[in-house]
Amino acid sequence: MGIDADPIALLARLFEGEGSAEYFGEAVTQAGHMLQAGALAEAAGAPAHLVAAALLHDVGHFHGTVTGRDLMEDGLDNRHSHTGADWLARWFGPEVTGPVRLHVAAKRYLCATEPGYVGLLSEASVHTLRVQGGPMTGEQVRAFEALPGAADAVAVRRWDEQAKDPERATPDFGHFRPLLEGLLL
């Protein structure tokens, strides 16, 4: 059976392997962060495609040409949102990949449109905000708002920022397997 024959098993291996690495200066691992985001979306009653997008939003960190360490130490942007969305598009539709692709833009959008949002960001998120272009300009805000799926990306971004609690109990990847299987193309 090839890798593409069971994409959910491949994702599970990534969560267990590379996902166990430090999450760029946060108090949780990469997998812990993504599992928390998925669990937060699920607890909020989000539709399946948004739970999946929240769960998988940072998968591009596993496949980027710039590592997380480079992102933090060298100030490089690995464009993980685009890398992850492109990679996931082999198996999932745009209702999942769109919010993954736009979740970094959603952070920039929220920083530009919500007074005090920057103050909610972790130290690592403030650093990556600078690397990723800072808060949007007025023109960028209007362009973002016109994009299909922008509201979904904002929802994913909110769960993203909340998903950094080392004390939060989180289900394992297997909990999400049926949901992900139901969304496969």
Q: Which domain covers residue 130, as residue numbers?
A: 3-183
Task: Write down the pTM of the prediction.
Answer: 0.90
CA distances from 171 to 57, 126, 182 (A): 17, 28, 18
Averaged pLDDT for residues 160-182? 96
What is the pLDDT, as a whole number, of residue 65?
A: 43
Q: pLDDT averaged over the chain? A: 89
Q: What is the CATH number of the domain that holds 158?
A: 1.10.3210.10
pLDDT of residue 1: 43
Overall average pLDDT of the 50-68 stretch: 79
d(CA 106, CA 109): 5
Task: Give the total number of structural domains in the chain.
Answer: 1
Residue 109: which of 82, 81, 129, 89 has the closest Cα?
129
